Structure 1
Amino acid sequence: MASRKSPLFDTATTVGKIMSFLGVSALCGLLAAGLIFPLAASGGAAAAAGTDILEDIPAELAEEPLSVPSYIYASDGTELATFYAENRQPVALEDISQEMIDAIIAIEDERFYQHGGVDARGLSRALVHNATSDSQQGASTLTQQYVNNMLINAVVLTGEGRLTISGTGQKTYADKLREMKLAVAVEQEMTKDEILEGYLNIVLLGGRTYGVEAAAQYYWGIPASELNAAQSAVLAGMVQSPNGYNPEVNPEASQGRRDVVLGAMLDEGAISQEEYDEAIASDLGLEINREEVGCVSASMAPYFCDYVRREILASDTFGPDEAAREELLDRGGLRITTTLDPDAQTVAQDEVESTIPVTDESGAVATLTSVEPGTGNILSMAQNRVFDPDTTQRGRTTLNYNVGSDAGGGGGFQAGSSLKPFVVAAWIEEGGETDDVVDASVDEWANTERWEASCLERGYTTAEDVWDVTNVEENSNRRMTIDYGVYFSVNTATLATAAEMDLCAITDVTDRLGIRTANDNQGLSPVNPSFVLGSGGVSPLTQAAAYAAFADDGNYCEPRAILEVTDTHGNEYDVPEANCEQVIDEDVVAQVNDTTINIAEGTVAAGDPPFPMAGKTGTNDYASSTWFVGYSSGVSTASWVGNTERVLDGYNNNRVPVNGQRYEEFFGSTLAAPMWLDYMTDVGGDYDTSDFREADDSPYEDRRDRARYRDGGTVSEGDDPDTGDSVESPEGGGNSNNGGGGNNGGDDN
């Protein structure tokens, strides 16, 4: 057997290297004299034509590698999914059983080790048979068949030239001459064992299964090294008709052909009479192991798998256009290592399905998406749906609710009050403080009211219609500190804050934090003031990445899913490194965190957090979109629960339960926040859980001495907003009416 790896699978070899001797004129003369001569029996014209054809045969072919599957892996090497046009697993000859080698030689080319690529004896015998019989007999050696398969592979990959086998299933003289010429050249370039190894790895063995290793795994679930005589005879018999003798499709025909191969093995002395008798008496013994292709059969995280696939198809690193990139993915043997944490993904999937089962009659959707602060690495991406293009069944879709439309998702979801921390960040950047007092009593805005927006042409904007804004909690229309308004999600307080500043300062912050609308990947627009209450549709991944900047002192990192891409030759492809930038001052972030820590630790975790955490709820009108977006120092997670078809509030009137329970009210604190807490409790400890940085000028002596310990945040002229009795967090939440023709935005606790 070959002591070194076949050059077929080495970098910069295969057909290009194999054909290096094809310009030798002596070889052409030999072929013309020795091989064209038998053709003269069919007429002088044919012989003359054959000589002309021989001279025109190209001396070289462009190198085209074998098509091999690509794989997507989690960060720890766990295989997620396989992509292939041809299921092939190349192996060395030493990893193929001797029975398999004997079977293919016995039935296809018993003189393999005697001829030089073309078997003159076999060719003469075939010519005589074909001239005197109604049936046709071939005389292609294994080397010729190998060449033929390589030519077919090249045509499939490049789309240029023509297949050696014509549309009628017969080879022309030109095809045959070309094949023979290349076979002789290959025999001069490669050893017999190398040719045999190459052939056994390239040959089609039914369906999309190529090569003996993939075939052994598919039909019996064993490696090629363990194929016995009977199994080897089945595969060797398929070469003549890969689908006609397919044991899965035509078991009787396959078994008959197998027995013919076993007879040839007996005649050649490859097996004994006893071994022959035992093999003949056995059945096919199939144990089919189908390996589905693509993300639909991913072992976990199919929606993340689809996100990665789309990243590959969108990057010019992997080809000049999408068709070329898809060809590379299906045939190029890529090894794609991703950022996915399989442990976090498992927990996330369990959480979304336990919160709302896949086939829940409510039709509600639950998603969890995590990003690592400081790197942008996507750690998990889960939703309570089955990745399946057959959407006629409940709970099945290929739509990825975690991402925007350009990445396989939809139009996103209204952010509600999960947008409010960005308003606070802009307020602080503009010189304000979180304990500043605003007048939250105003709940109606005329369409003549001007909102400063310096980035717009007019320098201001207005609501399209009279805008009535409501709060869920009673007695919220009063003066209060900004942090109190955010903690209790008082919509009128957020609008009062925005009314005192430039709306473009807010969109400047959201732009820097990567907030984009999910349907068109554009930044938030200040044209309609309702955007400050989260009326725009954003994706959970966008939210998780933006909030990750609050976890990392204002350092924003673009989300990324791919760590490394190599191919079977060890070639590495350029993939983006972590792309991070300090976009908000760390002291501004620390002041925002003063409030969001209270929400996560004091309300969501009920005062008993497993580690330092922060976050914000969000709910739109009618509760069709509910959020909790929160973070520890090491993990930022967007938890979303909603419905793209019906609104959750309406279920109460229709008596439709969500996961078996009917809710009088439905907010971000109802399901999204508890789901987030359970997930973060399980996963957060695997990452950094250190405390958040304190603001340099924080008015609070203790990290937990913040808004929830104020006297309701209520102030009047002369009141000191930093004193008073503590208040309990409310049970409900808030929402708002239409923002002057825009989408509704609202929030809860």
Structure 2
Amino acid sequence: MPMAAVAATGTDMAVGVLDQLPDELETGPLDEGSEIYSADGVLMATFYAQNRVPVELDEMSQSMKDAIVSIEDARFYEHNGIDFKGIARAVASNASGSNTQGASTLTMQYVNNVLISRDVASGKAGSDLTLSGTKDLGDKLREAKLAVAVEKEYSKDEILEGYLNIVLFSGQTYGVEAAARSFFGISAAELTPAQSAMLAGMVQSPSHYNPFTNPEGTQARRDTVLAAMLKNGKISQAEYDEAVATGLDLNPQTVVSGCTGAETAQYFCSYVEQTVLQSEAFGADVKERARLLARGGLTIRTTLDSRLQSQAQKQIEAQVPVGDPSGAGSAIVSVEPGTGKILAMAQNTEYTPEPGSGKTQLNFNVDAGMGGTPYGFQPGSTMKPFTTAAWLAAGHKLGDTIDATRTSYPAGFDWKASCLGANAEFDAWKFKNASEGYEKKMTVAEGLTQSVNTATVAQAAQLDLCDIRDTATRMGVHRAVDGEPLEVTSPSFVLGGQEVSPLTMASAYAAFAAGGEYCTPTAITEVTDRSGNDYDVAGGECTRAISADVAAAVTEPLQKLVEGSPGSIHPIGVPAAAKTGTTDMSEQTWTVGYTTGISTASWVGNWNSYSSLNDQSINGVTRSYVDGSALAGAQWTEYMSSVAKLYGAESFPSVPESLR
């Protein structure tokens, strides 16, 4: 039964029915998207279920206000929420069959939009929503009574402001500000009469009056609105003539929700999203947290430095461009020693669910549980400094001479592993050095600088493997697949035989740079909602992992590595230390290094197959042997050369004589 028929049955009957219905509208906050910003204020991404940017009435052009009132409810400023004259007019028009007219006032439409928005926010399915064309008598009566209640509580301007912020214009575009930006690339305050008329005309049927799919119909509807504005004295004849003579003149500005639409640092954006979805601070479960992110109007400020991010992406693509035919992946991630703040996170792929070369949503820099590859990557010799750190903590020195001649250990060798129990057994193990001629006696420092496998294993053979593992664990090293500490059932872990993520390695090396203090990596500094409420976001928690003296001692041979300029690595203009890593067949290659202000992991390898980089054309160059000092080393060197001075780059502390 239409609303007009209710009026025809008599005012007394209508009032009697209305008296039995609720008389208060619970408006609640509008759905509003969340925004992610870099540390230096760059908007990175927007998450929304409804693309909406609420603004006040004085931030909307007068022509927009006039257009919507003229076409939807010309008597808006005269009625009290229910327009009985409008109802009578609609009855007469509909009865004659000349034109179908609705009887809902702007206030009633506002009420209906609020009810729908509230139901959507509560998770009600689309089939359960009360939309136009599906309303029964009770729905229309409820709207009418609530409209009267709204008119008593709010001014006309407040109702108009609410309506223009809540109404659907197209697809996921709600509210006049988002619509103005989406269709014309301007703010609502800048809308001309012609632009305002187009938007006002769309609300009657957003799917039909779509300027992209139905430009002719949309323009005709716009001209109808302009005629209504002229009739109601909101524009002059000259303004009308000028407006109808123009085309739609669209300037579409698409705002894609989520990290696929991020302007920069798409994979860092993904890491931030995962951080929110996995934190109880943002809701009881993942569904509730996702709803908050899409509808709660959060402002998320992060640790990312857009200057570093830009340079990281530049250097990555200089070595292994996006979509390179080799299929090789590359990544850079930087953290700040002493805080754990993630400063940059980049890789050589496009963040998208679409298949194709150079396209993936897997984040090379992070663990599997945070959106990374299923297992991570073997770090090779970048694991060696943790054995040396355990060596020094056990009372040994850098200058100690070790026998690095041995390249095999038999089954039953007496490896010490106190955490495995007395009956632990180990298989036979054979390995080799990357280059011949290093199977000899040398100092611990020489073995680390020259990355001699036999030297590192010789140290491990004199230590407790569990102490080495525990040293690495205190410095944040864990398996990428499950976040658990490295396994010690095989001593090969000291040479990087278990997969980790680049973020893990950058954070661990940051502990060397910070005098032995390890800080968990953190991406978010502050989260507030639209009401100014703060959310409790955990910063990087810092703990003592190794002594400052041990950190200084490990740094010295790593600094000599940079000074020795192996491969593509060379000094970067400030004190720096680094270690390279290469798996047996060059499937994964690394350079991880630091200054006192930035710790960076650079990785180049195969991420979707375990195949060698050797003899592969990468960025047009084929190399017979690719080690960590080649592509990964070039990335690290050029990137750190460009950004190191932006953060503190002081001299490293001296090594105490007791550790020399």
TM over 0.5: yes
1:578 aligns with 2:547: no
1:499 aligns with 2:468: no
Q: For residues 485 and 36 of structure 1, what CA distance do their matches in structure 2 show?
A: 93
Q: Decide which moves more: 209-218 or 372-381.
A: 209-218
Q: Which amino acid aligns with 1:564?
A: E
Match among 492, 496, 506 for residue 544 of structure 1: 506
Q: Decide which moves more: 158-167 or 338-347.
A: 158-167
Q: Which amino acid aligns with 1:545?
A: S
Q: For residues 93 and 626 of structure 2, what CA distance do their matches in structure 1 show?
A: 83
Residue in structure 2 matched with residue 40 of structure 1 by the alignment: 9
Q: 1:167-178 maps to which residues of 2 (within 5 A)?
A: 169-178=133-142
Deviation at 1:270, TM superposition (A): 1.1
1:682 aligns with 2:642: yes
Match among 485, 489, 508 for residue 470 of structure 2: 508
Q: For residues 625 and 392 of structure 2, what CA distance do their matches in structure 1 show?
A: 33
Match among 695, 716, 724 for residue 655 of structure 2: 695
Match among 554, 574, 577 for residue 611 of structure 1: 574
Q: Could you give the per-residue CA deviations for residues 189-243 of structure 1, whole angstroms, max 9, x where no partner exists?
A: 1111111111111111111111111111111112111212221111111121112
Does the Cα contact within 8 Å between 1:71 and 1:83 map onto a contact in 2? yes
Residue in structure 1 matched with residue 623 of structure 2 by the alignment: 663
Deviation at 1:628, TM superposition (A): 0.8
Residue in structure 1 matched with residue 632 of structure 2 by the alignment: 672
Deviation at 1:461, TM superposition (A): 3.8
Q: For residues 659 and 481 of structure 2, what CA distance do their matches in structure 1 show?
A: 41
Q: For residues 565 and 61 of structure 2, what CA distance do their matches in structure 1 show?
A: 65
Deviation at 1:504, TM superposition (A): 0.5
Deviation at 1:469, TM superposition (A): 1.5
State the identity as a percent.
Answer: 48
Q: For residues 612 and 126 of structure 2, what CA distance do their matches in structure 1 show?
A: 63
Deviation at 1:170, TM superposition (A): 3.8
Q: How many residues align?
A: 656
Q: Per the alignment, do residues 433 and 229 of structure 1 end up closer, same or farther by CA in structure 2, a change over 3 Å counting?
A: same
Q: Per the alignment, do residues 195 and 499 of structure 1 end up closer, same or farther by CA in structure 2, a change over 3 Å counting?
A: same
Q: Which amino acid aligns with 1:224?
A: A
SS of 2:107's partner is helix
Deviation at 1:57, TM superposition (A): 2.8
Q: Could you give the per-residue CA deviations for residues 542-601 of structure 1, whole angstroms, max 9, x where no partner exists?
A: 000000000010010000000111122212111112311112111111111121111122
Residue in structure 2 matched with residue 309 of structure 1 by the alignment: 273
Deviation at 1:159, TM superposition (A): 2.8
Q: 1:133-152 maps to which residues of 2 (within 5 A)?
A: 133=97, 136-152=100-116
Q: Which amino acid aligns with 1:40?
A: T
Match among 184, 194, 197 for residue 161 of structure 2: 197
Q: Per the alignment, do residues 127 and 159 of structure 1 end up closer, same or farther by CA in structure 2, a change over 3 Å counting?
A: farther
Q: Per the alignment, do residues 258 and 571 of structure 1 end up closer, same or farther by CA in structure 2, a change over 3 Å counting?
A: same
Q: Per the alignment, do residues 502 and 56 of structure 1 end up closer, same or farther by CA in structure 2, a change over 3 Å counting?
A: farther
Q: TM-score, normalised by structure 1?
A: 0.84
Q: For residues 342 and 37 of structure 1, what CA distance do their matches in structure 2 show?
A: 61
1:634 aligns with 2:597: yes
Residue in structure 2 matched with residue 521 of structure 1 by the alignment: 483
Residue in structure 1 matched with residue 247 of structure 2 by the alignment: 283
1:348 aligns with 2:343: no
Q: For residues 35 and 500 of structure 1, what CA distance do their matches in structure 2 show?
A: 93
1:270 aligns with 2:239: no
Q: Which amino acid aligns with 1:694?
A: S
Deviation at 1:640, TM superposition (A): 0.8
Does the Cα contact within 8 Å between 1:437 and 1:481 map onto a contact in 2? yes
Residue in structure 2 matched with residue 88 of structure 1 by the alignment: 52
Q: For residues 606 and 462 of structure 1, what CA distance do their matches in structure 2 show?
A: 37
Q: Decide which moves more: 615-624 or 477-486.
A: 477-486
SS of 1:518's partner is coil
Match among 232, 241, 244 for residue 196 of structure 2: 232
Q: For residues 571 and 455 of structure 2, what CA distance do their matches in structure 1 show?
A: 28
Residue in structure 2 matched with residue 7 of structure 1 by the alignment: none
Does the Cα contact within 8 Å between 1:547 and 1:629 map onto a contact in 2? yes
Deviation at 1:299, TM superposition (A): 1.1
Match among 429, 432, 437 for residue 396 of structure 2: 432
Deviation at 1:89, TM superposition (A): 1.3
Deviation at 1:274, TM superposition (A): 1.7
Q: Per the alignment, do residues 303 and 685 of structure 1 end up closer, same or farther by CA in structure 2, a change over 3 Å counting?
A: same
Does the Cα contact within 8 Å between 1:370 and 1:544 map onto a contact in 2? yes
Q: For residues 409 and 607 of structure 1, what CA distance do their matches in structure 2 show?
A: 30
Residue in structure 1 matched with residue 368 of structure 2 by the alignment: 405
Deviation at 1:109, TM superposition (A): 1.0
Q: For residues 412 and 606 of structure 1, what CA distance do their matches in structure 2 show?
A: 24
Deviation at 1:58, TM superposition (A): 3.4
Residue in structure 1 matched with residue 517 of structure 2 by the alignment: 555
**Structure 1 portions without partners, runs of 5+:** 1-33, 701-749
Q: Per the alignment, do residues 256 and 699 of structure 1 end up closer, same or farther by CA in structure 2, a change over 3 Å counting?
A: closer
Q: Per the alignment, do residues 460 and 432 of structure 1 end up closer, same or farther by CA in structure 2, a change over 3 Å counting?
A: farther
Q: Which amino acid aligns with 1:216?
A: A
Q: For residues 167 and 226 of structure 1, what CA distance do their matches in structure 2 show?
A: 31
Residue in structure 1 matched with residue 327 of structure 2 by the alignment: 363
SS of 1:627's partner is strand
SS of 2:564's partner is helix
1:423 aligns with 2:387: yes
SS of 2:387's partner is helix
Residue in structure 1 matched with residue 72 of structure 2 by the alignment: 108
Q: Per the alignment, do residues 623 and 244 of structure 1 end up closer, same or farther by CA in structure 2, a change over 3 Å counting?
A: same
Q: For residues 498 and 640 of structure 1, what CA distance do their matches in structure 2 show?
A: 26
Residue in structure 2 matched with residue 395 of structure 1 by the alignment: 358
SS of 1:379's partner is strand
1:533 aligns with 2:502: no
Q: Per the alignment, do residues 103 and 650 of structure 1 end up closer, same or farther by CA in structure 2, a change over 3 Å counting?
A: closer
Does the Cα contact within 8 Å between 1:118 and 1:184 map onto a contact in 2? yes
Does the Cα contact within 8 Å between 2:569 and 2:629 map onto a contact in 1? no
**Structure 2 portions without partners, runs of 5+:** none
Deviation at 1:458, TM superposition (A): 3.2
SS of 2:640's partner is helix
RMSD: 2.3
1:487 aligns with 2:414: no
Q: TM-score, normalised by structure 2?
A: 0.95
Q: Which amino acid aligns with 1:493?
A: A
SS of 2:530's partner is coil
Deviation at 1:442, TM superposition (A): 1.6
Does the Cα contact within 8 Å between 2:367 and 2:500 map onto a contact in 1? yes
Does the Cα contact within 8 Å between 1:622 and 1:647 map onto a contact in 2? no
Deviation at 1:132, TM superposition (A): 5.3
Q: Could you give the per-residue CA deviations for residues 283-321 of structure 1, whole angstroms, max 9, x where no partner exists?
A: 111122212221112111111011101111111111111
Deviation at 1:41, TM superposition (A): 6.6
SS of 1:581's partner is strand
Residue in structure 2 matched with residue 716 of structure 1 by the alignment: none
Residue in structure 2 matched with residue 77 of structure 1 by the alignment: 41
Deviation at 1:56, TM superposition (A): 4.9
Residue in structure 1 matched with residue 584 of structure 2 by the alignment: 621
Deviation at 1:699, TM superposition (A): 6.8
